[in-house]
Amino acid sequence: MTQHASSTLAVPEVSAIPRHVAIIMDGNGRWASKRFMPRVAGHSEGLGAVRKIVQECRRLGVEYLTVFAFSSENWRRPPEEVGFLMKLFLKSLKSEVSRLAENDISLRLIGDLSRFDSTIQEMVQFSEEKTAGCKSLTFTIAANYGGRWDILQAMSRCLAANPGLKPEQVSEELLQPHLSMAYAPEPDLFIRTGGEQRVSNFLLWQLAYTELYFTDTLWPDFDEAELHKAFAWFSQRERRFGRTSAQLASESMSDAV
């Protein structure tokens, strides 16, 4: 597994199109409520938006797309909604895996999958194996995932892999390979739909230097045009990674010579 550099240890390459996009797909329930429909109808509609964004990211040259499908805190929702989400999750895996493989898209799942029933766990394993050789886009679904859980499980694995490790010896280089998304570079662009402006325990370690984009658009209405707006905003950001604007200008002049 390739280990990608931490943005706090090295300056990542910058491009107009984000290499890695992370999305919190918020607003499905409110989308349905506005139409006097049950909340679960919004989740079904949101699946169509996922298909559109996956395909558009692939077309635009995005290498990694990560979406927050179900957080470790979402178990607090009404049981009937959680049950529907589990059924929708399984149904979407069954229906989409062949489409992903045909489009050269690799599927990865991150999170504590042990809480899901065996049918879902088996389908996850099958889906990952079926698309393992795909190269155009790595599409990651975070399910029963939490950023704090990710850091804690990474530390546990790090200590297990390095017996006798002293506290002062713990470093980013040792910890990073054990994070859930060690196979991907840190996100360049974070998008949250639905109007809320928080990261909600999503990729807490990985979002250290990510550009944060918030939109009032509810997830089922987030289409290719909305994605282009987010990318246009991103292309105007000055990504300094701790440096000054003057340093960036100097480096640009040096590159031009």
Residues belonging to the active site: 26, 74
Number of residues in the chain? 257
Q: Could you give the angle at which helices 79-102 and 118-130 cross, rounded to 10 degrees?
A: 20
Is 192 a known ligand-binding residue? yes
Is 146 a known ligand-binding residue? no
Is 133 a known ligand-binding residue? no
C-alpha 198/C-alpha 206 separation (Å) is: 15
Is 211 a known ligand-binding residue? yes
Is 30 a known ligand-binding residue? yes
Q: Report whether 4 contacts 187 (CB < 8 A).
A: no
Is 39 a known ligand-binding residue? yes
Q: Going by C-beta distance under 8 Å and a sequence separation of 6 or more, which residues neighbour residue 215? A: 191, 192, 193, 194, 195, 222, 226, 229, 230
Kind plus residue range of the DSSP H or E element containing 37: none
Is 239 a known ligand-binding residue? no
Is 252 a known ligand-binding residue? no
Is 46 a known ligand-binding residue? no
Q: Report whether 239 contacts 211 (CB < 8 A).
A: yes
Is 28 a known ligand-binding residue? yes
Is 73 a known ligand-binding residue? yes
CA angle in degrees (0–180, nearest 5) for 152-158-164: 120
C-alpha 233/C-alpha 13 separation (Å) is: 18
Is 76 a known ligand-binding residue? no
Residue 201 falls in which region: left (phi positive, over 0), alpha (psi -120 to 50) or beta: left
Kind plus residue range of the DSSP H or E element containing 71: strand 64-71
Tokens coding 162: 């390095």
CA 103 centroid distance within chain: 19
C-alpha 34/C-alpha 42 separation (Å) is: 10
Is 147 a known ligand-binding residue? no
Is 136 a known ligand-binding residue? no
Q: Which residue positions form the known binding site?
A: 26-31, 39, 43, 71-73, 75, 77, 192, 198-200, 211
Binding site membership for Mg(2+): which residues?
A: 26, 211
